[in-house]
Structures are given as structure tokens and as C-alpha cells.
Amino acid sequence: MQATSADLVREIYLAGTGGPAPRLTTDLTALEERARTIMTPTAFAYVTGDAGTGVTSRLNRQAFERQRLVPRMLRGAAHRDLTVSLLGRRLTAPVLMAPAAAQCVLHHEGELAWAGAAADTGVPFILSTAASHSMEEVAGVAGGQPRWFQLYWPSDRELAASLVRRAERSGYSALVLTVDAPTFGYRPTDLDHGYLPFLHGAGIANFTSDPVFMAALPEDPDQRAVIAHWTRVFANPTLDWDDLPWLRKVTSLPVLLKGILHPDDARRALELGVADGLIVSNHGGRQLDGTVAALDALPAVRAAVGDDIPVLLDSGVRTGSDVLKALALGADAVLYGRPCLYGLALGGRRGVAHVLRCLLAELDLALALTGCRSVADITPALLAPPGPPAPPPPPRGA
């Protein structure tokens, strides 16, 4: 199941100079530009869209680029084991696909392609509450790989409980509660296009398939009424720490909080006993402009919670070396976001699987080249001591 770097390289060279598919590339940092050529301007703006000036996204990348690996030699790492144990399950690699809303605006198969690629590669996916196919439909193509459900906690508790119970029943094995989006960020690209997928009915399938959501509407409602109701219940800006024990009562699934950046929030989650894991993330720079890079926030969060609780990271992960750096700084695994979405836009299920295989291949090679036989061998000792601060990153497109 796991694509080794040797398999991938053989597959690509045997396919000839055209590579794995005409539009795809093995350069994981070049996917965005490829995707730009085939996506509608509105969909491209939605996916690439950052909050405000976009500085957070640039800082996310700069934080990875600032870290330098110091590889070790002659350690006999001819065979590498990428597998890791997370929440009691063995994963193919320390990588999961990050939750992303409304994927049908990128490709008509949307989350079904996402789940198919997970089955093809062994990389688990996290399904967004704001998916364009219902969680039950997506579960149907997912195969036996672990899959998690990301919860945007709606303003109605009965609806929240219904979503959680459905996720549990349809085989999602953990809940990711996103806590950094009590409201949308200020995203000038979306605002300038006047475009949000949800207002066109994309990304609301978990609601239109939900008995509690539908019971609040008149029989046979028109789309405008459905969307209007969705905008009323989707977000819950009043959510606070005191609400979280309720979630514990509703489900026996492990809960991870996504969007933690401050060590005090990390400590609080543990003290209250409301989280089985944390995801250090700034939502890919889409929420608050000027936020600290997720990678820079990671070491303090790890130090605050100790080694026993899973700490994952996303925001800016693009390459196999990035995964290695995140793990060296204390992450147990990473979530892979926009590159998978570009793969989806470029080639549906095959495109997402290609992107994931490239990442795993590059990670596998990075282990070989740093002298690591397994993920457990990745330690802070692989990183050079911090150097002088880098100059500020240039704005996008400069």
C-alpha cells in the first residue's frame, strides 16, 4: 500500500518524460501555479485565499525555509519505516489530509476523490463539516483506512449532536474540533469576487442530509431557504471552554482541537480534560492576518503538554523535508492541505493520490538522507541551531 520512493521514481521514469500525467508535477511547490491554469478564478481565489495581507501564509513558508537540516551519515538507513501510531491506530506515514470545505468547486468528484485517494495511498483523510458530499456517502468509498471527521460546532446543540453521532456511526474514528474559526477571516480575494461556495449551495451536504437540520425547514424547501437556514446555524461564535465537556458526553470518539497556537490554550485543554490531541495550526493563514507561523508556535505547545499527548501541525507543509522538520520540532504528524486540493483540481482522485505519493516518496528519501530508519529517529538534533533572523518574505507574486 505504501508508495516507497523507489516505486514512485520507477513509475515516473517508466512513464517517460511526460511524467505521471500531463498537468501534474512532482514539484509539490509548483502545484499552485499549475492549478491556476485550469481552475475558475473564483475557485482558485477561494483555495489560495488568505486573510488580509497574506503575511501569515508567507510566514508559514518562511518558518519552514528558515529551519535547516543537518543530515547524519553512514547510519545504514537502507530501509525506512514511515509508519506511526496515532490514537491507537497504525498510520502509513505521519501525514493526514487536512479538512477542506466544499471540494466540489475544485472537481466534480469532490470529497469522493479525496476519500478514494486516501484508500489508494493509505493516507487518512479528515472530512470537513462543510463537505459537498455527505459523510455517509464519503465513508462508502473510503475503504478501511482510518478517517476522521472535522466538526464546525453549529449554533444548535441538537444539530451538533446529530452530526457527531452520524460521524461515529459511519466509521469516523476521531473528531477534529476546529476552534480558530468562530467567524470567517477577512479574505479580500473572496470578498472582491463576492464569492463563497456555500452561498451557491456547495459544501452543505452534511446539513441537507441531516434530519435535525431538515426538520427545522418547511417540507420541500427551496435552495434559498436551505442556504439561509445554513447561514443561521453553521457557525457558533459563542463557543467557549465550558461547552467542551458537553461534547465529551455526546461521543466516545477521541477529540482533537484544531487551531491551537498558544501554550496556555494547550495546557487548558489538558487541564479540563477536553482533548485527546491538539493540532497546531493557523488555518493556512486564512483566519487572522498577522498570526504567528504554526511551525514557530509548535515547540512551545509541545513543551506545554509534554510528550504523551498527540500534537499535530498544519499550515505551510509542502514537502517531505517540511514533514521531517515539523516532526523534529515536536509534531507527531502533519496535516497536508492545499497541495491535495491542487491535486484534486488537476486530476481528481488520481491527482490527489499523485500528490500524496510524491510527499511520501520525498519524506522516505529525506529519512534515508538524514540517516533515519524510522520516524522515531527524527529528533531536534537533525536541525541546525537557529541562525540570524531572515529578511521579511516578499509579498505573493513579487
Ligand X SMILES: O=C(O)C(=O)c1ccccc1
Ligand Y SMILES: Cc1cc2nc3c(=O)[nH]c(=O)nc-3n(C[C@H](O)[C@H](O)[C@H](O)COP(=O)(O)O)c2cc1C
Residues in contact with ligand X by CB under 6 A are 101, 130, 181, 184, 283, 286
| φ and ψ of 95, to 5 deg | -140, 135
Q: Which of 107, 133, 229, 283 is catalytic?
A: 283
Asked whether the beta carbons of 310 and 332 are under 8 A apart, the reply is yes
Q: How far apart are CA 123 and CA 9, in angstroms?
A: 19
Residue 4 or 53: which CB sits closer to ligand Y? 53
Asked whether the beta carbons of 368 and 80 are under 8 A apart, the reply is yes
- Name the minimum Å distance from CB 394 to ligand Y: 17
* 343 marked among binding-site residues: no
Secondary structure letter of residue 81 according to DSSP: B
Q: How far apart are CA 389 and CA 379, in angstroms?
A: 23
Question: How many residues are listed for the chain in this entry?
Answer: 398
* 85 marked among binding-site residues: no
Annotated catalytic residue 200: no
* 338 marked among binding-site residues: yes
* 144 marked among binding-site residues: no
Q: Among ligand Y, ligand X, none, what does residue 154 contact (CB within 5–8 Å per kind)?
A: none
Task: Select from 314, 299, 315 the least CA-distant residue to 266.
Answer: 299
- Name the minimum Å distance from CB 103 to ligand Y: 8
Q: Among ligand Y, ligand X, none, what does residue 61 contact (CB within 5–8 Å per kind)?
A: none
Q: Among ligand X, ligand Y, none, what does residue 316 contact (CB within 5–8 Å per kind)?
A: ligand Y
Q: Among ligand X, ligand Y, none, what does residue 184 contact (CB within 5–8 Å per kind)?
A: ligand X
- Name the minimum Å distance from CB 69 to ligand X: 30
- Please state, as a whole number, how many other Cβ atoms lie within 10 Å of the Cβ of residue 22: 10
Asked whether the beta carbons of 330 and 302 are under 8 A apart, the reply is yes
Q: Specify which residues 90 forms β-bridges with.
A: 85
* 101 marked among binding-site residues: yes
Q: Which residues contact 74 (CB under 8 A, 6 or more apart)?
A: 371
Alpha helices in 251-375 (DSSP H): 263-271, 294-305, 320-328, 338-370
Secondary structure letter of residue 332 according to DSSP: S
* 240 marked among binding-site residues: no
Q: How far apart are CA 371 and CA 378, in angstroms?
A: 9
* 350 marked among binding-site residues: no
Residue 283 or 354: which CB sits closer to ligand X? 283
Residue 28 or 101: which CB sits closer to ligand X? 101
Which chain residues interact with ligand Y by CB under 6 A?
A: 46-47, 98-101, 128, 130, 150, 178, 258, 281, 283-284, 286, 314-317, 335, 337-338, 341
The string of DSSP codes covering 93-146 is SSEEEPP-S-GGGT-TTTHHHHHHHHHHH---EEE-TT-SS-HHHHHHHHTTS-
SS3 171: coil
Residue 116 or 154: which CB sits closer to ligand X? 154
* 117 marked among binding-site residues: no
Q: How far apart are CA 380 and CA 110, in angstroms?
A: 38
Q: Among ligand Y, ligand X, none, what does residue 105 contact (CB within 5–8 Å per kind)?
A: none
Residue 92 or 206: which CB sits closer to ligand Y? 206
Q: Among ligand X, ligand Y, none, what does residue 98 contact (CB within 5–8 Å per kind)?
A: ligand Y
Residue 5 or 315: which CB sits closer to ligand Y? 315
Rg (CA), the chain: 20
- Name the minimum Å distance from CB 99 to ligand X: 7
- Name the minimum Å distance from CB 388 to ligand Y: 26
Residue nearest to ligand X (CB): 101
Annotated binding site: 46, 99-101, 128, 150, 152, 178, 187, 258, 281, 283, 286, 314-318, 337-338
Annotated binding site for FMN: 99-101, 128, 150, 178, 258, 281, 314-318, 337-338
Where in the sequence numbering do the catalytic residues fall?
A: 283
